[in-house]
């Protein structure tokens, strides 16, 4: 009997203040002619994942304006100042109950495209048994986005605190599936100089 395809959602984390970037909202900085955050959102929308949800916090009103016209759901994280974990928890809590896994994207990784996301989803769907996570690796370093299995990781994700994502709870686990990634999976934008030259 053919296995049913898992229900996979996409969650874009875009709530942070981006303090290393300076006073201007990092997520709204132009990159290749579009606000930084739109790159991640448009990649998710072009992938097979549904629904696509965006977690907002700092500069939420301005980011909603930047995302106008895109068929996404937004989630407000009032505790965004307490770190990345609060945005991840807020987004996960808002997902439909029948979602089995979620692709977690960072809003400041503009070189991620739908092919990156669909490759993670395909690796997850093909694995038997299913892994707790699918993580891209480039140059010996784990990157983003990551796919998380909610049944296996739900309690651990719910307990995350501080300015960290799922990385710490995946360390040392034997049921993490690593897949080959390219330089896009380790490129994030933290400073205006990085934005200007695309290095991250």
Query: What pLDDT digit, counting tens, does each position of 51-75 carry?
Result: 999 999 989 999 999 999 999 999 9
Q: How far is residue 35's CA from residue 19's CA, in Å, rounded to a whole number? A: 17
Closest CA to 45 of 72, 73, 67: 72
Pick the range with the lowest mean pLDDT from 23-27, 84-88, 89-93: 23-27
For residues 35-60, average pLDDT: 96
pLDDT at 22: 56
pLDDT of residue 18: 61
The answer as to CATH 1.10.8.640 being correct for domain 8-197 is: no
What number is the average pLDDT over the span 98-105?
97
pTM: 0.92
Is the pLDDT higher at 2 or at 48? Answer: 48
> With bands split at pLDDT 50, 70 and 90, how would you rate the model's confidence at 197?
low
Tokens of 127: 């694995």
Mean pLDDT, the chain, whole residue set: 90
Domain boundaries in the chain?
A: 8-197
Q: How confident is the model at residue 200 (pLDDT cuts 50, 70, 90)?
A: very low
**Would you state the pLDDT for residue 188?**
76
Confidence of residue 104 (pLDDT cuts 50, 70, 90): very high
Identify the pLDDT of residue 198: 55
The per-residue pLDDT for 187 is 79
State the DSSP H helix or E strand holding residue 146, giving kind and residue range, or none if neither: strand 146-149
Higher per-residue pLDDT: 22 or 84: 84
Q: What is the per-residue pLDDT across 135-188, written as a single tens digit (0 to 9) for each?
A: 999 999 999 999 999 999 999 999 999 988 899 999 989 999 999 999 899 877
Tokens 């301005």, located at residue: 62
**Is the CA virtual torsion 86, 147, 128, 136 positive or negative?**
negative
| Rounded-to-integer distance, Cα 84 and Cα 116, Å | 22
User: pLDDT higher for 126 or 19?
Assistant: 126
Burial level of 188, CB count in 10 A (0-12/13-18/19+)?
Answer: middle
Q: Return the pLDDT at 1.
A: 43
How many helices and strands (H and E) does the chain possess? 7, 10
């Amino acid at each position: 009997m053919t296995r049913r395809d898992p229900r996979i959602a996409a969650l874009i984390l875009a709530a942070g203040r981006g303090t290393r970037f300076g006073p201007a909202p990092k997520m709204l900085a132009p990159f290749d002619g579009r606000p930084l955050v739109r790159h991640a959102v448009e990649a998710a929308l072009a992938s097979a994942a549904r629904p696509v949800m965006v977690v907002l916090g700092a500069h939420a009103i301005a980011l909603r304006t930047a995302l106008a016209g895109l068929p996404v759901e937004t989630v407000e994280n009032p505790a965004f100042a307490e770190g990345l974990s609060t945005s991840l928890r807020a987004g996960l809590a808002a997902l439909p109950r029948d979602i089995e896994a979620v692709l977690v994207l960072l809003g400041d990784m503009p070189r991620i495209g739908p092919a990156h996301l669909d490759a993670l989803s395909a690796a997850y769907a093909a694995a038997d048994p299913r892994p707790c996570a699918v993580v891209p690796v480039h140059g010996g370093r784990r990157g983003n986005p990551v796919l998380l299995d909610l049944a296996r990781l739900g309690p651990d994700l719910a307990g995350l605190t501080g300015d960290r994502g799922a990385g710490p709870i995946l360390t040392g686990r034997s049921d993490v599936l690593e897949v080959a990634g390219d330089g896009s999976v380790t490129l994030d934008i933290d400073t205006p100089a990085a934005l200007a030259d695309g290095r991250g």
